[in-house]
Amino acid sequence: MLDEAELLEQTRRALVDWPAPSHLSAIIKGGSDRHYFRVHFQDPSTPCVILMAYTLVRPDNPRFVTATARLTRLGVHVPAVFAHDPKNLLVWLEDLGSVDLHFLRHEPWSTRGPLYESALTEVAKLHAVDASALSQSELSEMELCFDEALYEWEQNYFLSHYVHTLKNHNASDANYTAARQALLELRTHLAALPRGLVHRDFQSQNILVRDDTTWLIDYQGARPGLAEYDIASLLLDPYVDLSEAERESLLRWYANHMSKKISVLQENYLLCAAQRLMQAIGAYANLSRNLGKPHFAQHIPVALERLSTVCALHPMLEPLLVFTDSD
């Protein structure tokens, strides 16, 4: 990656009509391979700009700019893109501040509840898209859709990094036969449901708060999928504690907002919750053991507890409880 002097020079070239940049301050957040900086300008009255330096390690990274344009057309609150340098893998973005839903996690529900509803309002603009009506050209601009193969990849990610590597268990053993069948039924069932668009990582740290409303970030992985996957990502986010009453209230609010039957929403939510939580546990195990970010391991027990609770509530998921045993 370019050093600070080089990044400042690239900023000067990209933002030719702006005052000269003075310095950068690093933003340390999340588990991605992208690097974020706040660009400060010599004119102190000039608002800061966010500089994102990405890599080509992940295929979704270069899709950020096109994803921003797509979400903007849908009316979703996302940061403005001021400039993009695809040669040097740099993007300059509107600075929406540093307050996110995670930062506000200890605030009373009277403060957080409306913000969660605001976040669901924004992501619902994605969910309302009929993915089956998208052209091949539109689909080619996105990551691969949530089909059976992608659900299986997520499940194998969980089995590989958590069950096999962290727990040292072999999911091919006979005592996991029922669980493997449940995984097959789960991915087959989810893949057969009609799709909208999803954010893909819709959790508290990817929802910024400015002027009492919410803004989405980290959406370059947006793709066709199930709304309930995003909802489960937010309501069962291991970074934040919500009460069951708060989750139920938000589910009912979303059902009303989207004119959906609450019973159908709740069932699909449970199934997507199991899928999402397994993906998250696999990610925490991989990040903590293989990618030099050991602090992510602290989220595994919470995610496991929530996976256990979800699996106990649906007969299709009950065999997956074997993965949540504490041994």
Q: Where are the domains of the chain?
A: 4-94, 109-324
How does residue 327 score in pLDDT terms, banded at 50, 70 and 90?
low
Question: 57: exposed, middle or buried (C-beta count within 10 Å: 0-12, 13-18, 19+)?
Answer: exposed
pTM (2 d.p.):
0.95
What pLDDT digit, counting tens, does each position of 225-244 carry?
999 999 999 999 999 999 99
How does residue 32 score in pLDDT terms, banded at 50, 70 and 90?
confident
Share of the chain above pLDDT 70, in %: 99
How does residue 30 score in pLDDT terms, banded at 50, 70 and 90?
low
CATH class of 109-324: alpha beta
Predicted pLDDT at 186: 98
How does residue 59 score in pLDDT terms, banded at 50, 70 and 90?
confident
Q: Answer yes or no: is pLDDT of 314 > 90.
A: yes
Predicted pLDDT at 293: 92
Q: Answer yes or no: is pLDDT of 253 > 80.
A: yes
**Closest by Cα among 235, 63, 265, 272 to 151:** 272
Predicted pLDDT at 325: 84
Indicate the average pLDDT of the chain. 96
Predicted pLDDT at 304: 98
Q: Answer yes or no: is pLDDT of 113 > 80.
A: yes
For residue 120, what are the β-bridge partners?
none
> Mean pLDDT, to the nearest integer, of 164-192?
96
> Mean pLDDT, to the nearest integer, of 146-155?
98
HSE-up of residue 311 (Cα within 13 Å, Cβ side): 24
Predicted pLDDT at 33: 81
b/e burial code for range 80-107 (CB count within 10 A of at least 16 → b) = ebbbbeeeebbbbbebbeeebbeebeee
Task: Look up residue 47 and give its DSSP letter.
Answer: P
Q: How far apart are CA 149 and CA 63, in angstroms?
A: 21
Does domain 4-94 fall under CATH 3.30.160.270? My reply is no
Predicted pLDDT at 1: 80
What pLDDT digit, counting tens, does each position of 199-229 carry?
999 999 999 999 999 999 999 999 999 999 9
What pLDDT digit, counting tens, does each position of 255-300 carry?
999 999 999 999 999 999 999 999 999 999 999 999 999 999 999 9
How does residue 29 score in pLDDT terms, banded at 50, 70 and 90?
confident
Q: Answer yes or no: is pLDDT of 138 > 90.
A: yes
Q: How far apart are CA 188 and CA 165, in angstroms?
A: 26
**Closest by Cα among 255, 278, 262, 268 to 316:** 268
Predicted pLDDT at 266: 98
